[in-house]
Amino acid sequence: MEAQYAVILAAGAGTRMKSDRAKVTHELCGKPMINWVIDAVKNSGIENIIVVTGYQEEQVKACIKENVEFVSQKEQLGTGHAVMQARTLLQGKKGSCLILYGDTPLITSRTLKQIIHEHKENRNSMTVLTAFFDNPAGYGRILRDPSGNVTGIVEHRDATSEQLQIKEVNPGFYCFDIDCLLKSLDGLSNQNNQNEYYLTDTLSIVLKNGGKVGTTTLNCTDEMMGINDRVQLAWAQKVLNRRIIEDHMRNGVTFLNPDSCIVEYNVEIGRDTVIYPSTILEGNTKIGRNCTIGPNSKITDTIIGNYVTVLNSVTIESTIGDKTNVGPFAYLRPGSQIGKNVKIGDFVEVKKSVIGDDTKVSHLTYIGDAEIGENVNVGCGVVTVNYDGQKKHKTIVGDNSFIGCNVNLVAPVEVKADSFIAAGSTITEEVPEYSLAIARCRQTIIKDWVIRKGRLRGKNLRSNFTEVVIK
C-alpha cells in the first residue's frame, strides 16, 4: 500500500513579526499556529508528517506535541532547499507527498483532502492548489498555455509586467508523487533574483520530465492566508475564533453577540447554554448544559456543571457544581472547588478552597486555603486569615454553621458543625459544635466625649452644643 507523507515548512525567521519567538509558535485561539496546520494534515488522513525547522527550532519543536519527524534547514536558501532537507526521510518511499507551510493556520482538512483526491483521481505527478484574487500582489502567478494547461509558476518578484496581470495565484500547497518530487529537486537551480532554490520551479521540471501537472481551485481564499505580521495574526485569530463559535452554535449553544467573544479551540459547551457578550473562554474549560455565562466573564481551565450562572466574573483552574450562581464580580482563583447550589456573590474571592453544597458566600468576602462545609452561611466581609507572613494555614468550617458579618477566621482554626460566630468576631481557637462564639470587646459608651475633647465638626453643631453646655 502506498504511503502518504506531508512536509511542513517552518524554518523561516518571520522578521516582520518583530518577535523573539519563532513565527509559527505564536498562538491563535490557544494553539500555536503550526499546530493548526498539523491538525489539518492529520484530519485529512495523513499520519507521516515531516516538519522542516530552522530559526529558533528548539522553540518550534517544544510547541509540537504530535508525533512528527523533524529535519533542520540550517541556512534558509529558499523553499526548494527546505524540502531538500526531507530527502533522506522520503528516499525509497512510494506514494504521495503533500507540501505546505507552517504559517498558514487557516487551511482546512477539507481543502487538503480536495488536493489529495484531485491528485490521485487524475493520476497527476504534481497537483497545485490555485486561487483567484482581484489583487494578487505578493503571490506567485500560475502560467498556462492557450489550451489552459499549466506551464509554470513565476514568483511575484520575478514576474514580468504582463505576468503580473494574471489573477490566478499560487498559495503554496502542492501534492507530489514522491519519486517525481525527489527527481525534480535534483534539477533545481538558484539562478534568480534572490539566489534561492524555488520549490515552484519543480513544476516546469516535472513537465520537462514528461510528468502530468494538474490544479485544483481553492474556493475559500481565507485558507491561503499566510501570517507574516501581527496584523495578519489578529485577522487569522478572528477567522478561527468565528469558526469555533459557529461550531458551538450549530451544536446548540447560543451566543448573543459572537463577534464580541473569544473561545479557544479546546473549550466544550453543552447545549442550551447562553453566552453573553464580551465573554472569554480559555484552555480546557468545560461548560455544562443550560448555563448562563457572562457578560464580561473570563473562564480559564474551569469545569462548570449544568444550570450554572457566571456573571461578570473571573474563574481560573476551578470547578463549579450544578445550579450554582457566581458573581457579579467574583474571582475564583486556582484550586477552587465550588459545590452544587452554591451562591458566590459580588466581590467574593476564593482561592484553593472547597465550598460545600448549598452554602452561601454572598458578598465582600475572602476565602483562602479553606474547607467550608455544606449549608453554611458566610456573612459580608468575612476573611479567612490564611497567611502569617511565611506560611499558608487552613481554615475548616463545619456543615450548617453561620459565620456573621466582618468575622476574621485566623488560621489554622476549625469551626465545628452547627456553630454560630457572632458578627465582628476574630476567631483564633476551635469553636465546638452547637456553640456561639463571640470574640469582641463589650461596647462602652462615654457620654459627651466628643464635646470634651473638642472634636465637634461643623460651625452649626459647635454653636448648638455650646448653647447646651452654657444652659
To which residue does cell 453573553 refer?
A: 276
In sequence order, what are the residues at sequence separation of 6 or more whose Cβ sits closer than 8 angstroms to the Cβ of residue 443? none
Q: Is 363 a catalytic residue?
A: yes
* Amino acid of residue 379: G
User: Does residue 146 have a cis peptide bond before it, meaning omega lies within 30 degrees of 0?
Assistant: no
Residue 202 parent element (H or E): helix 202-208
422: which 3 cell numbers? 457572632
Q: Give bridge partners of residue 268 from the DSSP assignment.
A: 286
How many whole angstroms separate alpha carbon 331 and alpha carbon 357?
Answer: 19
In sequence order, what are the residues at sequence separation of 6 or more whose Cβ sits closer than 8 angstroms to the Cβ of residue 18? 229, 230
Closest CA to 369 of 379, 381, 354: 354
In sequence order, what are the residues at sequence separation of 6 or more whose Cβ sits closer than 8 angstroms to the Cβ of residue 425? 404, 407, 408, 437, 438, 439, 440
How many whole angstroms separate alpha carbon 426 and alpha carbon 365?
Answer: 15
464: which 3 cell numbers? 448648638
For 94, the 3-state DSSP assignment is: coil
344: which 3 cell numbers? 458566590
Q: How many CB atoms lie within 10 A of CB 422?
A: 16
How many whole angstroms separate alpha carbon 22 and alpha carbon 274?
Answer: 37
**Which whole-number Å values give the CA distances from 312 to 297, 332, 336, in the listed order?**
5, 12, 17
Q: Residue 304: left if φ>0, alpha if ψ -120 to 50, beta else—which one? A: beta
Q: Which residue out of 117, 248, 363, 393 is catalytically annotated?
A: 363
Catalytic positions are 363
